[in-house]
Amino acid sequence: MTSSYVDLAPSRAEKFRQRVLPFILLAALLVVIPLLGPSRSTLTLLNHMGITIVFALSYNMLLGRAGMLSFGHAVYMGLGGYFCVHVMNWIAAGTGVWGVVPIFAMPAFGFGAGALAGAVIGWPSCRRAGTPFAMISLGVAELVAAAGFMFDSLFGGEMGISADRMGGREFLGLSLGPLDDVYWFIAFWTFIGVLGTWAFTRTPLGKLSEATRDNPERVEFVGFDPQRVRYLVFIAAGAFAGMAGGMSAVQDEIFTPENLSLIPSGAILIAAYVGGVRYFAGPILGAIVMTYMGSNLSDYTAGWLLYLGLMFVGMVMFVPNGFAGIIHDTWVAIRDGRLAEVWKIWLKRSVGLILIAVSVITMVEVAFRWSDGYGEVFEPFGLHLSHQNPITWALAVIPFVVGILLVRKAAKEAKA
Amino acid sequence: METLVFALLNGVIYGLLLFMLSSGLTLIFSMMGVLNFAHASFYMLGAYFAYTVMGISNFWIALILAPILVGGIGMVVERYGLRQVHARGHVAELLFTFGLAYLIDEVVKIIWGRTAVDYQVPAALDFPLFTLYGAQYPAYRIFILVVAIFMLVALWYLLKKTRAGLIIQAALSHPHMVGHLGHNVPAIFMAVFGAGCALAALAGVIGGNYFITDPAMAVQMGPIVFVVVVVGGLGSLEGAFIAAMLIGLLQTSAISINASLADIFGFLGLSPDSEVGEITIASMGPMLPFLLLVVVLMVRPRGLMGDREV
């Protein structure tokens, strides 16, 4: 065996395939989407997806990469966004320097504001890791959200502060008035955000943050200060969150103190985790799925938050690597030619999960119609499922039991 | 004087309620090293269960039945949920309880609706007990005081004076050693988790009709309970007690102070018309616990009475 570390370095083809190709594909996808002629509501949804993608990626710099569980990441997106809304209003007033700043540059301002917020708030809170860090982030989020309702001139009270995205000068021929223009704006900054957060994972600091997550003691032995690494990562994460805030300020033209609260912080935690925090693409997936569910599923059922919670708890318990982990494992199994041996297990598992989903959906849908008391009845596929109907109870119990048995069997076989 | 006495009385009651919630959380926290995010959700469940039980029977049965039911749910959660995730570390456990809190919130909304339910003080306790400075003082508040103190004494006796308490205390700090001595440590964990949840539920039963029983009560109470546990210190019931009283008194007395920042810092030239000057102490009340949390975690990470760091 004559192997030196030179042999371990990726070849040019591998480098291209792993580092350049995905971004070319992403850019191509972003360019192709408007050619398909999406409707206005689809465009709005896509724009929100772009914002959430950047936000989720910035969150994953903390949770996935550095192992820092934060319950208050929306604070940095909110502060970045608030700053941008103010800047947009200054641009609209057009005095001094602000007369020449295009609205297009808002995410850059958000980036700066987010970094500043991260630097100020991170200074005290990054001195601890683990559970204390999580608790401090929670306390800070509560403090900032409460302050948001107190200082009206900065945060606009309950009404928030709104701005007009058409106020500034045009940039690259985009007036940012019509939604198409906003799409290009969001697409551009989403690409920059994905590229930026990915580039960060390639920097020495990005690598060190992963080392700090896995073994802070050894990082210290090598001669780095874990506390300092965490602090710097925190600032970077705050900056990208602020960038997402700037994108959101242009898309929605309003920020309210609600944007700073624990609710969006929890939502982004769920999105990143469900997508898979161990993979770079995980939070992107999670952001897309969550945004889609948030805007579409809520039209179909009042219980969508419950489904979301069930999915999250299920993921935490059984699928810690999230969607990205599932996709990755599937791909690895296919690549290694193990498909022939595992497809039966997969089939059992999928059928089991579908059965469980059927019974859970039946239970939830019937339950909240029953509790509403409007006498409305859950009627999927022409079935009349009221809470007195024995079919309802059969549908709620039998698939659940069968599904669990199947999933357990699949798990046993997978282990063997 | 009047304000002071009332603030003191209400503060003590609020503090005792907080302690009832946080005592269970402290035990769980120091045993498993994980903050149970869903603890306040069990408090909410206690209030809602009591409301439902009270609908079909009476308050006294609810007072006993609701904590037992919630304690049972807590044990199931520990056995089939938390224990599964335990192997993957504290962050996974924290995330699990976070998701659980979310789920309980949604389930409560589905079963009991999105608005507050009419969970009332039982008629037998709904009378003014005494008159203080011309204002009548409701008997139910004193009832809360009595129940809380009774619970406090019972808990103290159980933990400090009985053999079961001895084993629990040992399992807090040296679970492996206790296991080697032949005690079933996982079962102890499950029992303590259940008991902690039952205590939270008891606080819900007697607090739900004192405050208000709505789906937001867990979200409002949850973070404050964390503050109590962290400020009090890990593994210290005494610390949790002091912290609960401190926060209870701090919050209730802040609400009764009408002074604005301008009144206090006016000598520094803070104008009462400016935005900062306008802020009253009362409006800052809800922020105080979190300020305390951040300061304590930075300055004294082991909390007031804790024996180890968080």
pLDDT at B42 over 90: yes
Chain B residue closest in CA terms to A213: B91
pLDDT score for A30: 84
pLDDT score for A244: 94
Among A65, A138, A158, the strongest candidate for a mutation testing the B interface, having the largest count of B CBs within 10 A, is: A138
CA dihedral of B163, B168, B174, B178, whole degrees rounded to 10: 60
Do the Cβ atoms of B30 and B235 come closer than 8 Å? yes
The ranges assigned to domains in chain A are 39-302, 337-415
Please state, in angstroms and rounded to a whole number, the distance separating the CA atoms of residues A137 and A143.
10
pLDDT score for A344: 81
pLDDT score for A74: 92
Whole-angstrom CA distances from A16 to A122, A275, A314 are 36, 25, 36
pLDDT score for A286: 92
Q: Select the residue of B92, B100, B286 nearest A320 (Cβ to Cβ).
A: B92
CB spacing of A146 vs B286 below 8 angstroms:
yes
At A208, list the tokens: 């060190």
The DSSP result for B39-107, as a single string, is: HHHHHHHHHHHHHHHHHHS-HHHHHHHHHHHHHHHHHHHIIIIIHHHHTT-HHHHHHHHHHHHHHHHHH
Whole-angstrom CA distances from A349 to A320, A328, B254 are 17, 17, 56
The three-class DSSP label of residue A203 is coil
Q: Select the residue of B85, B107, B290 nearest A317 (Cβ to Cβ).
A: B85
In chain A, which residues touch B (CB < 8 A)? 67, 69, 71, 124-125, 127-128, 130-132, 134-136, 138-140, 142-143, 146-147, 150-153, 262, 266, 269-270, 273, 303, 305-306, 308-310, 312-313, 316-317, 320, 364, 367-368, 371-372
pLDDT score for A32: 86
CB spacing of A139 vs B227 below 8 angstroms:
yes
Please state, in angstroms and rounded to a whole number, the distance separating the CA atoms of residues B295 and B306.
16
Please state, in angstroms and rounded to a whole number, the distance separating the CA atoms of residues B294 and A118.
16
DSSP H or E segment with residue A125: helix A106-125
pLDDT score for B305: 75
Mean pLDDT comparison of A23-27, A51-55, B129-133, B267-271, highest-scoring range: A51-55
pLDDT score for B310: 52
Please state, in angstroms and rounded to a whole number, the distance separating the CA atoms of residues B42 and A229.
38
Chain B residue closest in CA terms to A64: B91
- Phi and psi of B236, rounded to 5°? -125, 110
Confidence category of residue B197, pLDDT binned at 50, 70, 90 = very high
The count of CB pairs under 8 A between chains A and B is 118
Do the Cβ atoms of B206 and B147 come closer than 8 Å? yes
pLDDT score for A115: 94
Comparing B77 with A375, which gets the higher pLDDT? B77
pLDDT score for B270: 64
CB-CB neighbors (< 8 A) of B99 in chain A: 270, 309, 312-313, 316
Chain A residue closest in CA terms to B234: A132
Please state, in angstroms and rounded to a whole number, the distance separating the CA atoms of residues A268 and A205.
24
Please state, in angstroms and rounded to a whole number, the distance separating the CA atoms of residues A275 and A288.
9
CATH topology of domain A39-302: ABC transporter involved in vitamin B12 uptake, BtuC (1.10.3470)
Distance, in angstroms, between A119 CA and closest chain B CA? 16
Choose the weakest-confidence range: A30-39, B109-118, B138-147, B297-306: B297-306
CB spacing of A132 vs B301 below 8 angstroms:
yes
pLDDT score for B224: 87
ipTM comes to: 0.83
Do the Cβ atoms of A76 and A117 come closer than 8 Å? yes
Chain A residue closest in CA terms to B115: A372
Please state, in angstroms and rounded to a whole number, the distance separating the CA atoms of residues A101 and A171.
9
Which residues in chain A land under pLDDT 70? Answer: 1-6, 168-171, 173-174, 373, 375, 379, 382, 416
The pLDDT mean for chain B works out to 83
Q: Select the residue of B85, B92, B290 nearest A143 (Cβ to Cβ).
A: B290
pLDDT score for B269: 64
Mean pLDDT of the region B183-192: 88
Distance, in angstroms, between A266 CA and closest chain B CA? 9
pLDDT at B261 over 80: no
Task: List, for residues B44-69, the tens digit of each pLDDT value.
Answer: 999 999 998 888 888 888 888 899 99
Do the Cβ atoms of A51 and A268 come closer than 8 Å? no
Q: Is the dihedral of CA A182, A184, A185, A187 positive or negative?
A: positive
CA atoms within 13 A on the CB side of B46: 32
Residue A318's CB is within 10 A of a number of other CB atoms, namely 11
Please state, in angstroms and rounded to a whole number, the distance separating the CA atoms of residues B14 and B244.
8
Packing angle, helices A40-60 and A282-292, rounded to 10? 140
Confidence category of residue B70, pLDDT binned at 50, 70, 90 = very high
| % of chain B with per-residue pLDDT over 70 | 90
Of B13, B24, B58, nearest to B193 (Cα)?
B24
Which positions 34-53 of B are in contact with A (Cβ < 8 Å)? 34-35
